[in-house]
Amino acid sequence: MNILVVLKQTFDTEEKITIQNGQISEDGVEFIINPYDEYAVEEAIKLKEEHGGEVTVVTVGPDRAESALRTALAMGADKAVLVDDEELFGDEFTTAKVLAAVAKKEGFDIIIGGQMAVDSGAAQGGPRLAEELGINHVSTAVKLEVNGTAVRVERDIEGDLEVVETALPVLITAQQGLNEPRYPSLPGIMKAKKKPLDRLTADDLGLSAADVKAKTEIVDQYLPPKKQAGRILSGELSEQVSELVQLLRNEAKVI
């Protein structure tokens, strides 16, 4: 089974976000594999252990993203692909186009990714990639079973489960609860240093900047305003109600 895992390198979830000149500062920041993508890597390795085959991890990003791929290789993936060409960086549309080109180049039976990235929360990556490839996709999976070419997925739907049956090839996005990602072992870390990691450019994928030009543009980024301390009303209940109405009308301006 040829298993493709698409992942993203994101800020550590404990990092404090700072904005400088309208851009998110990366100074001194620790980067990790997007937590939802860790579930995807683990599930891919479990599928390989059960059915055999090969796991390829792929990301689009700058040179620093190699560390995320090496972590996935240390967990048990077999090889990695890094698209580190700035001409191919952009929004979700761009990334889906680029990943589709990689998937066609590498080949696949199943593609697994996280249901969303914790930095953007867009949850567009998986569905967009599946549409580019013309294959079925099932999102927010909490259980995955593959039997031959038949695929059975239990997916999270706000407090309940939905069972979806489909067939390979298919794209699955992983939700928390799908599995418990393993920690890379010391032997795994040592082996990861020798596993193949290919770096691809626009020319390698037969793409141009015009082919994948972003459809959206970030015009500004800013932190939410600091919360002000709450106000405690005192006095008789009727007085509190009257004061509350005045505050809502004159200060909060919501009535």
**109, 128 Cβ separation under 8 angstroms:** no
Q: Long-range contact list for 155-164, CB < 8 A, 24+ apart?
A: 164/138
pLDDT score for 146: 96
Residues of the chain with pLDDT under 70: none
Q: Compute and round to an integer the Cα radius of gyration of the chain.
A: 22
Q: Could you tell me which of 137, 149, 53, 58 has the C-alpha nearest to residue 101?
A: 58
Residue 122 has which token pair?
């867009």
Boundaries of every domain in the chain = 2-205, 227-255
Instruction: Print the SS3 string covering the chain.
Output: CEEEEECCEEECCCCCCCEECCEECCCCCCEEECHHHHHHHHHHHHHHHHHCCEEEEEEECCHHHHHHHHHHHHHCCCEEEEECCHHHCCCHHHHHHHHHHHHHHHCCCEEEEECCCCCCCCCCHHHHHHHHHCCEEEEEEEEEEEECCEEEEEEECCCCEEEEEEECCEEEEECCCCCCCCCCCHHHHHHHCCCCEEEECHHHHCCCCCCCCCCCCCCCCCCCCCCCCCCCCCCCHHHHHHHHHHHHHHCCCCC
Sheet holding 136-147: strands in order across? 161-167, 150-156, 136-147, 170-174, 110-114, 2-6, 54-60, 79-83, 197-200
- pTM score of the predicted model: 0.85
Tens-place pLDDT, residues 39-63? 999 999 999 999 999 999 999 999 9
- The values of phi and psi at residue 142, to 5°, are -115, -5
CATH number of 2-205: 3.40.50.620
**173, 137 Cβ separation under 8 angstroms:** yes
pLDDT score for 163: 96
pLDDT score for 158: 83
